[in-house]
Amino acid sequence: MLPMRLLVTGAAGMLGTDVVAAGGGHDVVAFARADLDITDADAVRAAVRDTRPDAVINCAAWTNVDGAETAEAEATRVNGDGAGHLAAAAAEAGAHIVHVSTDYVFSGDATSPYREDAPTGPIGAYGRSKLAGEIAVADAAPSDHAIVRTAWVFGPHGKNFVDTMLRLGAERDELKVVDDQLGCPTYTGHLAPALIAVAEARLHGVLHVAGGGSCTWWELACAAFERAGLSPTVHRGTTAEFGAPAPRPAYSVLGTTRSDAPVLPAWQDGLAAHLIAKEVLAS
């Protein structure tokens, strides 16, 4: 594969940091949120024009699921309008756009894995804002876009469920974790090179790329405690008990109909790699 020029947005975030690191064989131009406000269409157009990338990987996003419930317009400006600005600028420059989306575009009432052609139906503001981004990207770059839906993302460079559980497990003798949501935990260290592979192959359309297998949050927490040598008592809880402001899809397992979609390792392998990465960063 010949080296490409990749423009990565959200480059200082949990996923973006690993995408930049995984792009070592390419000429990577990294824009953190402080460097580029994707809601500013003129700034986005100028950045893409000046950079002249072969591909744009959009990791910039409003990720505060609960906060989006009371700030949906602001979330949509980032996740919807901002994604559209990037896609339009990429199309104008002849660049491929790889846009990261989410399981939250689905209602979560399925009983078998969601494929790419499954009907969308977000049940909360965050999911609606991300679906708006998918539509904006497809409209702005109809012939040269990839929308990569993923789920339950965790990694060493940002706030995430696994690290929160490890902190609580070290502080408490017992805790309660939701056991009525099922999904595919996805490690950024595995997802990042997959996004670059999508850009390299210039894949088109919607792809589902998530950690292999599935589990509940309770099962993920228990697995994290076991690997970290922690032994709190972990009680099974329900989504309703925690009363979060935003509704969560009960079923977020992603499948694929595409033979060209990158296949990630099992979520257990991602968890193991995450703990090793945390140790390296701490040393």
Known catalytic residues?
126
Beta carbons within 8 Å of 122's beta carbon, 6+ residues apart = 104, 105, 106, 107, 128, 130, 131
| Joined tokens for residue 97 | 């756009």
Q: Using alpha carbons, select from 250, 248, 253, 251 the residue that is nearest to residue 68.
A: 248
Please, is 79 exposed, middle or buried when counting C-beta atoms within 10 Å of its C-beta (0-12, 13-18, 19+)? buried
Q: How long, in residues, is the chain? A: 283
DSSP H or E run through 19: helix 14-22
C-alpha–C-alpha distance, residues 40 and 87, integer Å: 13
| Joined tokens for residue 19 | 């995408």
C-alpha–C-alpha distance, residues 245 and 240, integer Å: 10
Q: Using alpha carbons, select from 261, 237, 182 the residue that is nearest to residue 214.
A: 182
Q: Using alpha carbons, select from 79, 96, 192 the residue that is nearest to residue 146.
A: 96
Contact 269, 191 (CB under 8 A): no
C-alpha–C-alpha distance, residues 267 and 111, integer Å: 20
